[in-house]
Structure 1
Amino acid sequence: MVKINAENINLYTGVNATPKKTAEQTGTVVTFSGIHGLVKSQMEEKLNEFLLKEFAWFLALNSNRDFSISVNGIPIDFNDLVADQEELSFMHEDSQTTFTVRYVRWNQRLNNEPSRYYYINSEHKERWKEPTVIKNKGEQFYHSIFVKSLYFDAFSFQAAAEEKQEALIVGTRSDSQFRFLRKKLATILRIKRRPFLKVFAEKLISEYEEKNILPAVCHESLRKTLTTIYEMQPRIFTSLNLEQKKIMVGLLQILLESNNKNALPALLSSAIDLTPDEQSELEKLFY
């Protein structure tokens, strides 16, 4: 048993105890005593809130492994923190590799876990995790992506320099299967994130108006085109200086006023993995 006292929270007793084999169910029990400032219901509420934000991702990751965290015998449910989720599967045709993907969007920021991809093997065990491609810019798009596949049973997540030696034995990041997967995941996140970018798209238009980047006479079609493109891929607008922004807006205006309106949808399709609905949306803007 490990004991901690509030008077010296960094001083532990029992940390050197020798583990003993037991036939009982394993786990960890944490007991709080001597707390007089909170009643039981308040303590439970605060603990539940903290534990959810701390371990919701872990419980979701291990939902098939019978892990649980309980407060006074009542398990906390990570779904209480879920705002949206979807499960889907897809296959890399050339290798017949199947991936099962679970997308989860959290209604609050997790305590110490950024938005990540979690790669899971056929035994439901995490093999690796890493940040997703989305850089949160304040849109509160907190998410986790759990990817399960037999493919990850024998996979090297190490640096590319080490892949050459292992490529003949296990899967690596340079595999066509993994590149296919990452492209699919990026598309899923781009689509899921889009509703959260509407406010930022409106701010972009306001900024372009204030800085006279938009022409004095600006048709609604140009505003709509800029907004739609930003929602589909905001990275197109990053790192542009004032002159580059004006050039981009000018080229869009020329396209909208020309007989080559279909050039932009085709150009965007070559740069972004657009869904059929997005392709249709762009086509409606230009026809």
Structure 2
Amino acid sequence: MSVSVNITSKGIQKVLKNYNEKQAIAEYIWNGFDANADTIRIDYVANALGHLESLDIADNGYGINFDRLQKKFDPFFESEKAIQIIAPKHTSKMHGRNGVGRLTFFTFAHNATWRTTYKAENGFRHGEIYISTGGLNSYSHDFTAAPSPNAQTGTVVSFANLRIGQQELEETVLPFLINEFCWFIELNKHKNYSVIVNGKALNFSDNIKSLEEFNVFYPDTAVNFKIKYVHWKDNLHRELSKYYFLAGGEEIYKDYTTLNKKSDDYFHSIYIDSDFFRDFDFKSFENEGQVAIFGAAKSSAEYRFLIKELTEYLKSKRKPFLKEYANRLIDAYEQEDIFPTYPTEREKQERKPELINLIKAIYEAEPKLFGGLNTGQKRTLVRLMDLLLASNQRDLVFDLFNGMIELEAEEKDELLSIIKKMEPYGN
């Protein structure tokens, strides 16, 4: 049976134009986890030239219910507005939302076939769904086949006429998947989630720079929080750096950490497990200084104590990281010939070390000031700092950058102290 819908195939591709093959393959894995799968299998076969002859993504989830098929597919085709993939903000459940990621296969293949088995009231049912790139606005399906005697729920998506090669899959897509799912696998560590590629499990710890586990104890009410801190090597794509609040290992809520979006490549996750969150109200009384009628809320003393402790902990972890990256910034500026040319070697020896110290100090206070600049802008910024240091008005350095960046009191004192210690050149 074939079903046609309103929006055109080109219209669908236009709306999903920002998706590439890496993100598309990730969406099929998210769909599997959304279906309560704990194991995703990616199997592919390449020929002698490295071209992919087949690619399957299978999950052991609950399958696609034939009776709900129209609800699964039709809404995507009703209008361009309906086709969007949004990462959830406060929960990791149902990441794929309505499963619109099923349409993104056009980025790497011409055809996709779903073979799915689900459990109905009268037993298992099995069926197939087929979509081609040239007809993304229609799909055909057949649920008349009888399931095998040893049927289990799950879905296998087979892609044909592939436009992706073995090298790209192994060197680009698989590393992307590690960064995409590492935080999620860590979140569900107790469930033993896995992604297996041609029989070998992806090693998500490849993206872990450091991991620490400890407890935060609030003595007044004897509440204990089990903490797992993970510092990631590379970014987590749309997930960003977050707190994950759990009770008995199950996620209750998640939110951005206080050091998220600092533009310093400090990618981290904090997993917090405590019975304290079982009846916690994360959505109400967040800014009212009140206590929820049932359970606790963000205004509670325990929660405020926890976040304060974790904020200080993250700052302590971020500081050496920023120092390391400040040194990298200086090395990059040397290679790009960003520093000014001095008339004499003596003047260079007097001025350049202090200029480097100032750049490092400002970078550690606010890395985003140095992000997104072209070569000319970098030279202008560094030259301005050098000229201010050479003048007898060094307070202007602090005034200038204090107005450009948001600093806490401790950071302001530290930056001001560094500037004051720098005597004018030639004195």
- Which band: TM-score by shorter chain? 0.5 to 0.7
Q: What is the distance in 2 between the residues matched to 1:213 and 1:36?
A: 56
Moved more, 105-114 or 8-17: 8-17
Unaligned residue ranges in structure 1 (runs of 5+): 219-225, 227-233, 257-287
**Partner secondary structure for residue 235 of structure 2:** coil
Is the contact between residue 286 and residue 297 of structure 2 (CA under 8 Å) also seen in structure 1? Answer: no
Q: What is the distance in 2 between the residues matched to 1:175 and 1:7?
A: 56
Which residue of structure 2 lines up, in the alignment, with residue 204 of structure 1?
362
Is the contact between residue 194 and residue 202 of structure 2 (CA under 8 Å) also seen in structure 1? Answer: yes
Letter in 1 for 2:274: S
Instruction: From the superposition, tell whether residues 155 and 76 of structure 1 become closer, same or farther in structure 2 (CA, over 3 Å).
Output: same
Which residue of structure 2 lines up, in the alignment, with residue 193 of structure 1?
318
Please give the residue correspondences for 1:75-90 in structure 2 after superposition, counting only pairs within 5 Å.
75-90=201-216
Picking from 179, 182, 194, the partner of 2:307 is 182
Picking from 407, 416, 423, the partner of 1:249 is 416
Instruction: From the superposition, tell whether residues 250 and 109 of structure 1 become closer, same or farther in structure 2 (CA, over 3 Å).
Output: closer
Residues 192-239 of structure 1, C-alpha deviations (whole Å, 9 max, x = no match): 111232218616286884252687599xxxxxxx9xxxxxxx999834
Letter in 1 for 2:303: F
Is the contact between residue 44 and residue 71 of structure 1 (CA under 8 Å) also seen in structure 2? Answer: no
Please give the residue correspondences for 1:129-148 in structure 2 after superposition, counting only pairs within 5 Å.
129-148=254-273
Picking from 146, 155, 165, the partner of 2:280 is 155
Higher strand content, 1 or 2: 2
What root-mean-square deviation, in Å, do the aligned CA atoms of Structure 1 and Structure 2 show? Answer: 4.2
> Is 1:121 the counterpart of 2:288 in the alignment?
no
**Partner secondary structure for residue 204 of structure 1:** helix
| Rg comparison, structure with higher value | 2
Which residue of structure 1 lines up, in the alignment, with residue 133 of structure 2?
6
Instruction: From the superposition, tell whether residues 191 and 176 of structure 1 become closer, same or farther in structure 2 (CA, over 3 Å).
Output: same
Instruction: From the superposition, tell whether residues 80 and 153 of structure 1 become closer, same or farther in structure 2 (CA, over 3 Å).
Output: same
> Is 1:35 the counterpart of 2:162 in the alignment?
yes
Q: What is the distance in 1 between the residues matched to 2:227 and 2:142?
A: 40
Q: How far is the alpha carbon of 1:170 from its aligned partner?
A: 0.8
Is the contact between residue 242 and residue 255 of structure 2 (CA under 8 Å) also seen in structure 1? Answer: yes
Residues 64-123 of structure 1, C-alpha deviations (whole Å, 9 max, x = no match): 12222222332222211111111111211111111111111111111211111110111x
Residues 159-183 of structure 1, C-alpha deviations (whole Å, 9 max, x = no match): 3179899723211111111011101
Q: What is the distance in 2 between the residues matched to 1:47 and 1:27?
A: 23
Which residue of structure 2 lines up, in the alignment, with residue 238 of structure 1?
405
Instruction: From the superposition, tell whether residues 250 and 59 of structure 1 become closer, same or farther in structure 2 (CA, over 3 Å).
Output: closer
Letter in 1 for 2:182: A
Please give the residue correspondences for 1:209-220 in structure 2 after superposition, counting only pairs within 5 Å.
209-210=385-386, 212=388, 216=392
Q: What is the distance in 1 between the residues matched to 2:265 and 2:311?
A: 18
> Is 1:66 the counterpart of 2:192 in the alignment?
yes
Is the contact between residue 139 and residue 196 of structure 1 (CA under 8 Å) also seen in structure 2? Answer: no
Moved more, 111-120 or 195-204: 195-204
Letter in 2 for 1:117: Y
**Partner secondary structure for residue 318 of structure 2:** helix
Unaligned residue ranges in structure 2 (runs of 5+): 1-115, 117-128, 330-358, 364-381, 423-427
Q: What is the distance in 2 between the residues matched to 1:36 and 1:12?
A: 21
Instruction: From the superposition, tell whether residues 214 and 50 of structure 1 become closer, same or farther in structure 2 (CA, over 3 Å).
Output: same
Seq. identity, % = 29
TM-score by length of 1: 0.65
Is the contact between residue 286 and residue 299 of structure 2 (CA under 8 Å) also seen in structure 1? Answer: no
**Partner secondary structure for residue 157 of structure 1:** coil
Residues 39-88 of structure 1, C-alpha deviations (whole Å, 9 max, x = no match): 3x653444422321221111110111222222233222221111111111
Q: What is the distance in 1 between the residues matched to 2:165 and 2:228?
A: 38
Letter in 2 for 1:210: D
TM-score by length of 2: 0.45
Q: What is the distance in 1 between the residues matched to 2:252 and 2:210?
A: 25
Instruction: From the superposition, tell whether residues 167 and 8 of structure 1 become closer, same or farther in structure 2 (CA, over 3 Å).
Output: same
Instruction: From the superposition, tell whether residues 52 and 155 of structure 1 become closer, same or farther in structure 2 (CA, over 3 Å).
Output: same
Instruction: From the superposition, tell whether residues 163 and 184 of structure 1 become closer, same or farther in structure 2 (CA, over 3 Å).
Output: same
Which residue of structure 1 lines up, in the alignment, with residue 76 of structure 2?
none
